[in-house]
Amino acid sequence: MPEVLFSRYRELIRGLDLAQVTTPAQIPESFLLGREGRYSAHYIPFESVHAQARVVVAGITPGFAQWKNAMREAQRQLAAGRGDDEVLRAARLAGAFSGAIRPNFVALLDAIGVQRWLGIASCASLFGADAGLVQVGAILRHPIFVDGKNYSGSPSPLRQSFLRDQVLRWFAEEARMLPDALYIPMGASVSETLDWLVEEGVIARGRVLHGLPHPSGANAERVAYFLGRKERAALSGKTNGAQIDAARAALLAQMDELLVRRVGGFSRPRGDR
């Protein structure tokens, strides 16, 4: 189980003047978890883990905006007298898949049958009544900055010992708490890292769902084509319809296999490690 650091930072968060922190470089040194060369890692109260989660959505790392939002929410919860568990849960959920990204994400999951595997009507309820079934996180749990700017995933975390260590210390330990979950990577670097964790025996084989287009508004055409809302002939030159078709077919086949192998509840498919 990953170490929970919140007790060390509770009073620092309570006394933090967020109005004075307008860039990553202005994050107080007291929140620094580690530094190596151009890379630095800073504490964020993203330590809440849904023990019953069956879907893990993995991004690359929280950015500076997410750091501020999480700190602001933690301050609100602390001011209201909430306990540590409540503070951490609220901070992690603050802004998770808000705005236009959420309906796209729900539609993509429903399109490949994740809701059937979970036994719910639609993945929309993952942001309501069934919120305990989803864990929204990042392979680099604590924000990584490169020369004081958000780390975008390039170069891959696997090519930097400092970043690999961050993955193993936080995300890998979280994954070990959720052995029966499906993992949805948001981006190529995340996909590569999840595959590495499969090879390392941290995540079971067959549980990483590669190929879903990122649900952001900037990716609207790929999402629309994946969902059958746009004809292939109408695609712009920037969108590879054949690649999306192949990814969709592979995901549907993978989910069919998971559904067939599921025997009561959320048991592991045969052959999982």
Q: Which residue has the tokens 């107080």?
A: 28
- Which residues, in sequence order, are CB contacts of 245 under 8 Å at separation 6+? none
Residue 20 included in any domain: no
Domain membership of residue 225 (yes or no) is yes
Going by C-alpha positions, the residue among 99, 102, 1, 94 that lies closest to residue 44 is 94
Asked whether residue 17 is domain-assigned, the answer is: no
Task: For residue range 252-272, list pLDDT tens digits in order.
Answer: 999 999 999 875 544 443 334
Q: What is the pTM of this model?
A: 0.89
- Please give the structure tokens belonging to residue 133: 């079934």
Confidence class of residue 102 from pLDDT cuts 50, 70 and 90?
confident
What does the block give as tokens for 117?
Answer: 């595997």
- The label of the residue with tokens 């696997």 reads 158
Residue 14, domain member (yes or no): no
How do residues 159-203 score in pLDDT, each as one tens digit? 999 999 999 999 999 999 999 999 999 989 999 999 999 999 999
Range 114-133 average pLDDT: 94
The band of 1, judged by pLDDT with boundaries at 50, 70 and 90, is: low
Q: What is the pLDDT of residue 8?
A: 96
Residues 6+ away with beta carbon under 8 Å from 176: 1, 202
Q: Which domain holds residue 251?
A: 29-261
In total, the chain counts a number of residues equal to 273
Rounded to whole angstroms, what are the CA distances from 158 to 105, 154, 189, 196?
A: 27, 10, 9, 8
Alpha-carbon distance of 250 to 230, in angstroms, equals 20
Q: Span 53-77, mean pLDDT?
A: 95
| Structural domain count of the chain | 1
pLDDT-above-70 percentage for the chain: 94
Q: What are phi and psi of 93, to 5 degrees?
A: -80, -15
Residue 19 maps to a domain: no
pLDDT for the residue 217: 84
CATH number at residue 202: 3.40.470
CA angle 150, 156, 157 (to 5 degrees): 75
Peptide bond into 157 cis (omega under 30): no
248 occurs within a structural domain: yes
Q: Is residue 229 part of a domain?
A: yes
Domain assignment of residue 268, yes or no = no
Answer yes or no: are the C-beta atoms of 67 and 194 closer than 8 Å.
Answer: no
